[in-house]
């Protein structure tokens, strides 16, 4: 797919799709005795990328075009936008006592992108790690961190 298509598809699913689905199901969520809204972030670790090394591609030599065999920038940008979406929903739902987070389970071998084995080659963790951090949020262990991005090891990203 083209660069534009990768951005459009990523934003359609990860930002617009998450927003519309949340909007449509909000009446049901508000009926809950303990409403929780969890967005699943992804490869958007801006702080980690800023500190380096920039993941997931190695250093690039000078010149154009760049030889990147596994491009993820559209997906990564959409997951960063999802964090803003979480902040907005958290703001909107405070008076309704809805607890809202983004959970970033980290780079896991989920076969995202339909490339079997590629994630393992790149050092991805086991998918169960994502389930574990999500479970801790659902069960209330992270209630003190409402409105925050929770990282794979439990750290608060901002």
Beta-carbon contacts of residue 70 (< 8 Å; ≥ 6 apart) = 56, 57, 115, 118, 122
**51-88 pLDDT, tens digit each:** 766 666 678 889 999 887 777 788 888 988 999 999 99
pLDDT bucket at 47, cuts 50 / 70 / 90: low
Q: In whole angstroms, what is the distance from residue 113 CA to residue 149 CA?
A: 24
User: What is the reported pLDDT for 131?
Assistant: 87
Q: How many residues does the chain have?
A: 158
pTM for this predicted structure = 0.85
Average pLDDT of span 26-47:
87
CATH 3.40.50.720 is the classification of domain 3-58+69-150: yes
Cα atoms in the Cβ-side hemisphere of radius 13 Å centred on 59: 4
Binning the chain into helix, strand and coil, the percentages to the nearest 5 are 50, 10, 40
**125-138 pLDDT, tens digit each:** 888 888 898 999 99
Q: In whole angstroms, what is the distance from residue 134 CA to residue 20 CA?
A: 22
Alpha helices in the chain (DSSP H): 3-11, 18-30, 46-51, 73-93, 118-121, 128-138
């Amino acid at each position: 797919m083209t660069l534009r298509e990768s951005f459009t598809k990523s934003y359609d699913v990860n930002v617009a799709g998450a927003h519309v689905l949340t909007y449509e199901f909000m009446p049901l969520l508000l009926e809950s005795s303990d409403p929780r809204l969890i967005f699943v972030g992804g490869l958007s670790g801006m702080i980690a990328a800023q500190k380096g090394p920039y993941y997931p591609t190695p250093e690039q030599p000078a010149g154009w075009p760049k030889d990147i065999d596994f491009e993820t920038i559209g997906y990564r940008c959409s997951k960063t936008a999802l964090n803003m979406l979480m902040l907005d929903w958290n703001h909107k739902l405070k008076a309704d006592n809805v607890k809202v987070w983004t959970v970033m389970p980290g780079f896991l071998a989920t076969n995202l992108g339909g490339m079997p084995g590629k994630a393992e080659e790149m050092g991805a963790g086991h998918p169960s790690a994502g389930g574990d951090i999500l479970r801790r949020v659902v069960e209330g262990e992270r209630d003190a961190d409402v409105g925050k991005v929770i990282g794979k090891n439990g750290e608060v990203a901002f």
